[in-house]
A and B are shown apart, each in its own frame.
Chain A
């Protein structure tokens, strides 16, 4: 899986993730999939609705946010291609919790934020049998 992301959008994600620190932040990725490559064309920040005391290691969105943004993507001729979130003071590697809540055919962009500084970004996709994530190649353009 190849994922293309502009340096401008990556900068926006890093800025948001650093502002959310020490809590997790996240949002949706809008874009298009073509010939096995996914191009992210917009990001939309979504509020972390997990219990505040747990937000340092948990992130959740309301189902209504999915509904609203999926409709918006359809109206704009884009697709909901994935979602991004941060791992404060933890590697940009999916957790078991991530896997249990993941969907196939969806890009998972994880940003490691170490000591309030975004330090790594990795892209992942759940296998069709749900057994594990596979890493993808992220191209910053």
Chain B
């Protein structure tokens, strides 16, 4: 069976396992099998059945976006890897999304 390497923050949803064996003959089938085994991963990998924009799938050093995407064929010897694209940025305060409480009454730690 092919294997998928899970990024560190999402291993909380695979009972700590870093590599998961998956069934399937394409990347899409393998990811489908992965979220069947570990359903809590789905929200963080997919949005409306499409891979989230910051989720990259690599086979070895190759990004599947430059192959056949989710239709890329795989075999049992393949090692897939989920790699998040880390990104951030600021925008006007009125558009900021947070509900947490800042550390009230304390000076910014330095």
Contacts and interface: CB of A to CB of B under 8 A. Distances in A.
Interface string B60-84: 0001000000000000000001011
**Size class of the contact patch on chain A:** 35 or more
**Size class of the contact patch on chain B:** 35 or more
Interface string A71-95: 0011000011101010110111111
B89 to A, nearest CB: 4
A94 B98 contact: yes
Interface of B: 7-10, 12, 18, 40, 43-44, 53-54, 56, 58, 63, 81, 83-91, 93, 95-103, 108-110
Closest 3 CB pairs of A and B: A135-B100, A90-B90, A134-B100
Interface of A: 7, 10, 14, 24, 26, 46, 50, 57-61, 63, 65-67, 70, 73-74, 79-81, 83, 85, 87-88, 90-101, 103-106, 108, 110, 119-122, 124, 128-140
